[in-house]
Structure 1
Amino acid sequence: MKLLSICVQHLMKVASNKEKNEETRKEVEMALLALSCIGKFDKVPKELYLNEIKEIIKYHQEHRNLTQLAYQSAWVFLMERFGNDKNLDGAVADELCFARDAARELEELKECIDWKRKEEEEKEKEVKEVLIIGRWFDVIRKYLFYGKLYNESITGLIGSIIQVFRAAKDNHRKISDWCISFLKEATISRSVRTVDLLESEVVIVFLAEILQATTQKHKILDYLIFLEFICRRLKGKKMDEVEEVKRKELKRKIFDQLEEEGYEDHIVGLLLIFAKKMLGYDDLIKDDETYFVHL
């Protein structure tokens, strides 16, 4: 513990250097990358890092002084502490606006990747941006799992994930699978409202993927879990009157859109039945499997 504390103090000092030269940027990146390797089971006293890491993140938000990898590493380090300290919820969600910044970073990374390049061309040497996107997904997953506070920026983050998914789905299955897993977990997370899921195109994305489930067998369990939880949300306790009216309006809009775009109700039901039998999850969806059709 003492040795770790000394290392954290030293690395924080290096990472806090704001000098504008290439050598310093490299030192800062390496220091933050090293900090990001400190796992959640390594106890780090809050007084050794919290003010410093918040200042590093806030300064970058204002001045954009860090590399993409360095900034992402700062969030990895903080989010690993998040799991052991629920009092960080307000700092992560509101003070540092994690969802807003994660959405912006993903959008910037999306623009840096040549999505027309075939995935097999990247197997030997993955581009740096792809690796950073993967690390962002790990951080976002922790945010959804540990976070309890709602933040309005979550809708934008969900939208950014959908943009990345649509860019990646034809040529980069690894990233598109990450996106599907994230969207499934967003449906489960207590920090995401039902209205956010309905306002974004999450349901549209999943239903479109379910229609191709016979060629996406490795993701069928994610589809079933998504449908289980979205059904629970839509049939669960009522919201306040304003939210309830909005929810019903958005829900009807989604189903009208599905009809207009030619989705056949019976195909959704049949694919759900097929997936349940194939995987053996007979009790995963407890409601009628055509619930989504007859809602």
Structure 2
Amino acid sequence: MRKNENPVSLQSCPKKLKKMIEEKKMPTKNAILLLKHVGYCIALKMIFISSLENPSLCIRIKRMIFEENEKKKEERNENLLTDLYECYLLLDFVFSLELLSICVPRLVKVASSKEKSEDNQKEVETALFTLSCIGKWNDVGKILFLEEINEIIQYNQEHRNLTRLAYQSAWQFLIDRLDNFKSLKEIIANELHFVKEARRELEELLKCVDWKRKKEDGGGKEAKEEFVLLRWLQILDLCFFLCKFWNEEYAGLIDSIARVLRATKENNREICFYCIYSFKLATENKVVKVEDLLNGGAVDAVLEEILQSMLIDKIALSSLKYMNSISERLKDEANDEKGKEERKIMKKKVIEKMEEEGYEDVIVSFHEKLPFLCRNNYHQLSLDISDYFVNI
């Protein structure tokens, strides 16, 4: 939960609105629009509120969806239906296949609109964002419309007609379904060029926020672009975890994430965490070349991060796990004759960097805390300080 959020007010909002609707203090249409906005903010800021403690409201909205759909086509209020679909999918976490078979086709249709007006862009963004919130665990089977989402992504690559959140949401929808639809991997990598697009988006999003001013303002209010940046990093976590091959595009992605880490380290700790967590997952994936992790600036960026005066537990933990993994990878490659001299030079540079930055002192300072972290469900973290030093 972010420090500036008030979960109590968000949690009680649906219940209060339901009461206002029942007492006719607010028109139903206005209440639905307000509820949709609440759901949108909760999902964008990734605040978890279990079922919003008010399942009766979701049941009411679901009933309204079915009632409106039962009307004759010429009598239906299509705009109200779209609002109802988005409101329900943004507020609830468990969807029936019956409901999804009604909502998804309509939202895909809205998302496929190519009209260039500002209002239409917003409607497309909300539709795609809502679709991205369905989640990978829901069995949406044949109604996924993967081909249509592919076309939306391809069209944006040619015309740049989507907002940044809309584009990220379209990718989120596809990436979430990699495990269920194996053919997607080939399409995403070779037809849609996911890695190239992700790197471009990260670098463009970095330009959208005045990071220097945010630092001067003590962090300030988070911009929408920061939430989109965070969502991209979460996608990349899955990408590094599932990656089965490695090429120059992936190596460049490491460098882009290192830049994000450096830009945000003093004013967005959540983004910093996901950057380091991405590095950790990449290091643990054996297809990722350790040379690219070292050359891409990840080690330097993490070393700079753990020297911060204020470091939250999960960032400290991921940093140590990452450095431990780097050390293990270099240890494993120590007996490989091919390129041994080049790696030896690179390892020496890393050691010198660690000594220069006082890395040993940082590890020692964490040593008292490591048993506590391990006792509290932070597993597989070595308590041997020597494991965190790169071996030559």
- TM-score above 0.5: yes
CA distance in 1, matches of 2:143, 2:342: 44
Let me know the Cα RMSD of the aligned residues: 3.0
- Alignment partner of 1:147 is 2:243: yes
1:129 Cα deviation (Å)? Answer: 0.9
1:246 Cα deviation (Å)? Answer: 4.8
Secondary structure of 1:225's aligned partner? helix
Q: Which amino acid aligns with 1:216?
A: L
Q: Which amino acid aligns with 1:41?
A: W
TM-score, reference length from structure 1: 0.83
Q: Which amino acid aligns with 2:161?
A: N
Secondary structure of 2:125's aligned partner? helix
TM-superposition CA deviations, 1:91-142 (whole Å, max 9, x none): 22332222221121111111111212235531xxx32111211222222222
Task: Find runs of 4+ consecutive structure 1 residues off by over 6 angstroms.
Answer: 238-241
Q: Which amino acid aligns with 1:113?
A: V
Cα gap change, 1:190 to 1:96, in 2 (>3 Å):
farther
CA distance in 2, matches of 1:151, 1:254: 23
Secondary structure of 1:121's aligned partner? coil
Q: Which amino acid aligns with 2:382?
A: I
Cα gap change, 1:278 to 1:217, in 2 (>3 Å):
farther
| Number of equivalent positions | 289
Aligned to 1:292: 389
CA distance in 1, matches of 2:193, 2:340: 27
Matching residue within 87, 105, 130 for 1:9: 105
Matching residue within 248, 267, 292 for 2:361: 267
Aligned to 2:370: 276
Contact 1:206 1:223 in 2 (8 A): yes
Cα gap change, 1:16 to 1:41, in 2 (>3 Å):
same
Counting only pairs closer than 5 Å after superposition, residues 112-261 of structure 1 correspond to structure 2 as: 112-115=208-211, 116-117=213-214, 118-119=217-218, 121-122=220-221, 126-190=222-286, 192-212=288-308, 215-218=310-313, 219-236=315-332, 246-258=342-354
Q: Which amino acid aligns with 2:186?
A: G
Secondary structure of 1:236's aligned partner? helix
CA distance in 2, matches of 1:244, 1:57: 43
- Pair member with larger Rg: 2
1:200 Cα deviation (Å)? Answer: 1.0
1:77 Cα deviation (Å)? Answer: 0.8
CA distance in 1, matches of 2:192, 2:337: 31
CA distance in 1, matches of 2:134, 2:381: 36
1:257 Cα deviation (Å)? Answer: 4.5
CA distance in 1, matches of 2:246, 2:387: 31
Secondary structure of 1:17's aligned partner? coil
TM-score, reference length from structure 2: 0.64
TM-superposition CA deviations, 1:230-270 (whole Å, max 9, x none): 122112257986565654443334334555xx234642552
- Alignment partner of 1:43 is 2:139: yes
Unaligned runs of 5+ in 2: 1-96
1:12 Cα deviation (Å)? Answer: 2.1
- Segment of structure 1 superposing worse, 98-107 or 179-188: 179-188
Secondary structure of 1:82's aligned partner? coil
CA distance in 2, matches of 1:266, 1:120: 30
- Alignment partner of 1:26 is 2:122: yes
Bigger relative CO (Cα 8 Å, ≥ 6 apart): 1
CA distance in 1, matches of 2:121, 2:347: 48
CA distance in 2, matches of 1:267, 1:101: 39
Contact 2:276 2:322 in 1 (8 A): no
Contact 1:168 1:175 in 2 (8 A): yes
CA distance in 1, matches of 2:336, 2:147: 38
Contact 2:330 2:391 in 1 (8 A): no
Contact 2:104 2:143 in 1 (8 A): no
Cα gap change, 1:291 to 1:167, in 2 (>3 Å):
closer
- Segment of structure 1 superposing worse, 271-280 or 10-19: 271-280
CA distance in 1, matches of 2:287, 2:349: 24
1:70 Cα deviation (Å)? Answer: 0.6
CA distance in 2, matches of 1:112, 1:11: 28
